[in-house]
Chains A and B, each alone.
Chain A
Amino acid sequence: MTHPGEITRRQLIRRVGLTALVVGPGAGLLSGCATGGGEEPAAPVTSAAGSADPRNPFGVDAKKPLKVTIFSGGYGDAYAKEIHEALYKKEFPGAAVEHDATQQISTQLRPLFVSGDVPDVVNNSGPQALDLVALAEQGHLADLTGLFDAPSIDDPAKRIRDVVTPAVLDNAKIDGKDLVLNYTVSHRALWYNAKLFAAKGWAVPRTWAEFTALGDKAKAEGILLFAYPGQKGPYYQLWNVLYTAAKIGGNQAIIDIDNLVDGAWKAEPVKQAVTAWADIQAKYGDKAYFGLDHTQTQVKHLQDKLLFYPVGSWIENEMAKDKPDGFEYAIAPIPDVTAADKMPYGAIQVGVGENFFVAARGKNPQGGLEYLRIMLSKEGARGFTEKTQNLTVVNGAAEGLDLPPGLRSAAKAQDAAGQNIITDARFEGWYKELFDYGTEQINVVMAGRITPDEFCSRMQAKADAIKKDSSVPKQTRGE
């Protein structure tokens, strides 16, 4: 989930409709989506039986229709309709492709999983994404090992696993099995207006002292040093604080939090990161932003009311329509907090995102796997980048494309960072309750209603409760 829940008109209407239905006096109606017939789940279809033909490694039935459901959020759904589905139809002219775009993945698909009439390919994203761990437990997700071992469309001598960013393989795993394909690459750190900095002659701060000094200079001009949206997008700041903790103490800080290690939230780097940012908010922030959502905050960013905004590289495309000519997105790494940060200046977070999976018990899982293989071809990936101005996990697919300045700055920052890449926090997907609690508590600590120490102990208490809760399936990660 890369974009905070943008309430569209349609969503509102739906929500209100749901209210009438769900929350009448006595919200017992919630269970409207009944349980299934009670039969044991069938054995999941493991990655489709191999075929010797490198052009059709999964043995797709050329006549079978394929059902695709796309989350139509920040990326839209044109990339699927006009690129990937078109490529599939070109490969199998006899197959019909049923395309469905929605912003309510969970609401639309949950009953289908219970009844059994699932789409073959699902783009599971947005604020209402399906709980993948729960689906995996029930064997609803097809094993992608076969996909990763299948020959690449561009060069049959290479396997898919050799042509994608390695993070794809790490992030595919749920309960140790490859079940999820992350399709996009994003760069997260602080984003600023390069043209404003050039006009004012300001340099991007490399240390915390430079950062606050710039804050004073900006304050004199009526510009805020930093702001994040307190509504809908406070998790941008939770990410920011976690990445800062990783910069201070190394990726282990985040890995320990993900693995629910005892005392992970009370570790010194986490405390330092929270303290540093709470201080920035207290000295250079404006409490009004606690009541603004991401779009309102991003518009203010475009109006040069604030210098730095913690977000990912999708921001450029997200705000493309509103962006004035005097604004040029560029990425700035988090400044050095202490003189002894484990990661040197320049470390940024580079992560994969945008989940796709193939339904194990759909009608055409082989077709689903082939669809993902098409997405991972250079043609499919380049088409995605052209349509959405975002990079994919396919190596070299964007070569020769004319990328916008923000993406170019992100690519440059990644080169400069080299091996110092901050890892993603996976508890966001694993333990949503903990993550949601974090997005709530980050507002509380940033607003100064609790101290950083209290923030750490509250988060630790919640993490301990999750660890003890036997109804929550546990995940672990290595590196």
Chain B
Amino acid sequence: MERWRTYGFVAGFLAVPMVLYTVFVISPYAQAFQISLTDWNGVSARLHYVGLDNFGRLLGDEVFWRALRNHGILLLVLPIATIVIALFFAFLLNLGGGARGPGMAGVRGSAFYRVVFFFPQVLAVAVVGVLFKAVYRPDESGVINGALIRLGLEPVGWLIEPDLALWAIIAVMVWQAVGFYVVLFSAGMAAIPKDYFEAAALDGAGRVRLFFSITLPLLRDTVQVGWVYLGIAAFDGFALIQVLAGDKGEPDGATTVLPIEIWKNAFSYSKVGYASAMGVALFFLTVTFAVLTLRTTRRERIDL
């Protein structure tokens, strides 16, 4: 009887979110798997099953592989660049000032910088996209190119050179993400007991040594979480690329990613079945990435 009441109580709380989650998340996922086996065009009332044809076609689709390659680059560069920069800033903001008064302090004005770093995070992706469109604009009205032209240099086609466009977009993604991870890592650093640093400092450790021997090892869990988040973000990028580069991943598809291709196939070409197959592929990629990262970086927890 006692047990019934406890479980009933818990179940009462869980029922509504579970139902919502099932209806709005699980069932569309399941349906995407179903539709990926059909050649549904988005309007017909009947599903015509074609087996694994869509997946076979994926393997031979040059654009699909180009999108995958771009995901690969994003997956390598986005987390590393963001985490390195964010760790650096977080260290400076929290511990970079050295021992001052009781415990460690950040560099002068760190409260102000903290707010500034967080600004990009509050902006909607679309706003960031429009903003950087103006920054990257290829003529004299662009922020960067305007300055370059005034200095007598050749303007750079940030978003129109196929070799440059993806990097220009990654730079924006990093710029936008850093603020959040600075805050995340700052919280992690605040949880590290001050006496560790004091003890190390007494033994003569410099800031670099403090960072690598104390801060980084004790932040491991936080960094790992950040890595997974950023990895998943690397599988998206849809909104930013759509606004900044265009809805075909311009130029020449050099910046295309799977979500862009899914959108194009489903809504422009009415190939909803094929698009769903891409969605399923993307699902497995994301899950594989998350599982792999969590597995390979698992380790004994350190109790602080």
Spell out A's residues near B (CB within 8 Å): 5, 7, 12-13, 15-16, 19, 22-41, 106-107, 110, 113-114, 128, 131, 134-135, 137-138, 140, 230-232, 286-292, 432-433, 436, 439-440, 443-444, 447, 449, 471
Contact = CB atoms under 8 A, between A and B. Distances in A.
B33 A26 contact: no
Contacts of B70: none
B144 to A, nearest CB: 12
A50 to B, nearest CB: 29
Contacts of A107: 267
- Interface residue SS majority, chain A: helix
Contacts of A444: 251-252
B239 interface: yes
A30 B126 contact: no
Given A15-B242, A26-B279, A138 B43 contact: yes
Q: Which 4 A-B pairs have the closest CB atoms?
A: A26-B283, A28-B32, A291-B138, A12-B126
B155 to A, nearest CB: 7
Contact of A135 (B43, B129, B238, B286): B43
Given A13-B126, A15-B126, A113 B29 contact: no
A440 B42 contact: no
B174 interface: no
A34 B42 CA distance: 8
Interface in B217-253: 232, 235-236, 238-239, 242-243, 246-248, 250-253
A138 B45 contact: yes
B268 interface: yes
Interface string B260-275: 0011101111111001
B31 A27 contact: no
B270 A131 contact: yes
Contacts of B232: 25
A128 B269 CA distance: 11
Contacts of A41: 44-45
B188 to A, nearest CB: 23
Contacts of B271: 471
Contact of B160 (A113, A135, A291): A291
Nearest to B40: A35
A134 B43 contact: yes
Interface in B115-168: 124-126, 129-130, 136-139, 155, 157-160, 162
Contact of B138 (A7, A106, A292, A439): A292
Nearest to B25: A29
Contact of B45 (A13, A36, A292): A36
Contacts, number: 181
Contacts of B253: 440
A19 B279 contact: no
Given A25-B232, A440-B250, 7 more contacts: A15-B243, A19-B242, A23-B238, A25-B286, A28-B279, A436-B269, A471-B39
B46 A40 contact: yes
Interface string B39-57: 1111111110000000000
Contact of B251 (A7, A16, A290): A290
Contact of B44 (A29, A137, A432): A137
B95 interface: no
B243 A7 contact: yes
Contact of A443 (B32, B139, B251, B276): B251
Contacts of B33: 28
B47 A38 contact: yes
Contacts of B268: 432-433, 436
19 contacts: A16-B124, A16-B126, A27-B282, A28-B32, A29-B28, A29-B29, A29-B279, A31-B272, A36-B45, A107-B267, A114-B43, A138-B43, A138-B45, A232-B246, A290-B251, A440-B252, A443-B252, A447-B251, A471-B271
A35 B157 contact: no
Nearest to B261: A27
Contacts of B263: 22-23
Most chain A CB within 10 A, of B28, B159, B247, is at: B28
A425 B287 CA distance: 44
B173 interface: no
A30 B32 contact: yes
Nearest to B155: A288
B239 A16 contact: yes
Contacts of A28: 28-29, 32-33, 276, 279-280, 282-283
Interface in B254-304: 258-259, 262-264, 266-272, 275-276, 278-280, 282-284, 286-287, 290
Contact of A287 (B130, B136, B157): B157
Given A12-B130, A41-B45, A471-B39, A230 B160 contact: yes
B32 A288 contact: no
Contacts of B284: 26
B272 A140 contact: no
B90 interface: no
A359 to B, nearest CB: 12
Nearest to B159: A291
B86 interface: no
B35 interface: yes
Contacts of A138: 43-45
